[in-house]
Amino acid sequence: MKTVAIVLAGGEGSRMGGGQPKQFTLLGEKPILAHALSRFEQADCVDGLLLVSHPTWIETARHLAIREGYRKLMAIIPGGPTRQASSRAGLEFLSRHEVERVLIHDSARPLVSPEVIQEVTRRLSEAEVVTAAVPVADTMVRAADGAVRELVEREGLYAVQTPQGFRMSLIREAHERALADGIRDAGDDVQLALRLGRRPLIVDGGRFNIKITFAEDLELARRLLPPAG
């Protein structure tokens, strides 16, 4: 298999709250997680899908997958205590398959566009690491104790999103190195690749590719969802 998308759904959604992790919350007609998975299922450049689930919710994830009938789904595997551990679990599983490129995506970004998935994959032919990101629009400052300390020059600042694409050998090495250096809770995979001295290419992920973190984000996602979604 050339390109596999790892969809991360191993979190508990503690900042969102509620009785179940946010990835199972309905967004329009189906759960957030189902939106994320179907965007990769529909992308021609993606050959396989791997779902990393919170261990407690693996049966729920399985039912969702059966209901939606993903043709590309290779497996549903349990994640770990941190996003980094969940991502590593996915890479570990894929090491038993012939995979050249991997796209790692947060299920908490259900509105990722097919064009972005396509472009991140396409640009992996010219770089080992590619990430979706958007230029920061607000004025940026560094603050402490509720007061502004200093302006951070906005020029060149981006907010990093997912999907993040990697050549398989590179991302495996990045995870090995991170663990060897005692790093266990990185916020994403690109920062692990950065530690190897790589310069990830940026693909504009678009401003609708929001991450659902707080309840307000869910409200926003509902408004951004296309009518048929």
Residue 175 lies near ligand CTP (rule: CB under 6 A): no
Burial class of residue 169, CB neighbours in 10 A (0-12, 13-18, 19+): exposed
In Å, what is the CA distance from 113 to each residue of 54, 71, 143, 148? 25, 19, 34, 36
Output 11 or 90, the one with its CB closest to Mg ion: 11
Query: In the complex, what is the shortest distance from the CB of residue 12 to Mg ion, in angstroms, rounded to a whole number?
Result: 8
Output 81 or 139, the one with its CB closest to ligand CTP: 81
Residue 86 lies near ligand CTP (rule: CB under 6 A): yes
How many residues bind ligand CTP, per CB under 6 A? 23
163 touches which of ligand CTP, Mg ion, none (CB within 5 to 8 A by kind)?
A: none
Residues contacting residue 77 through CB under 8 Å, at least 6 positions apart: 50, 51, 52, 53, 89, 90, 93
Please give the residues from 112 up to 171 whose contact with ligand CTP meets the rule CB under 6 A.
none
211 touches which of ligand CTP, Mg ion, none (CB within 5 to 8 A by kind)?
A: ligand CTP
125 touches which of ligand CTP, Mg ion, none (CB within 5 to 8 A by kind)?
A: none
Q: How far apart are CA 204 and CA 184, in angstroms?
A: 28
Q: How many helices (H) and strands (E) does the chain have?
A: 7, 11
Q: How far apart are CA 46 and CA 36, in angstroms?
A: 13
φ/ψ (deg, to 5) at 116? -70, -45
Burial class of residue 19, CB neighbours in 10 A (0-12, 13-18, 19+): exposed
Output 2 or 15, the one with its CB closest to ligand CTP: 15
Residue number of the CB closest to ligand CTP reads 11
Q: Which string of x and - marks every residue 41-80 that binds ligand CTP (by CB under 6 A)?
A: -----------x--------------------------xx
Please give the residues from 11 up to 50 whose contact with Mg ion meets the rule CB under 5 A.
11
Among 91, 108, 112, 178, interactor with ligand CTP by CB under 6 A: 108
Q: How far apart are CA 107 and CA 22, in angstroms?
A: 9
25 touches which of Mg ion, ligand CTP, none (CB within 5 to 8 A by kind)?
A: none
Q: How far apart are CA 37 and CA 147, in angstroms?
A: 41
CA atoms within 13 A on the CB side of 116: 27
φ/ψ (deg, to 5) at 50? -125, 125
Residue 110 lies near ligand CTP (rule: CB under 6 A): no
Interface residues toward ligand CTP, by CB under 6 A: 8-16, 21, 23, 52, 79-83, 86, 106-108, 211, 213
Interface residues toward Mg ion, by CB under 5 A: 11
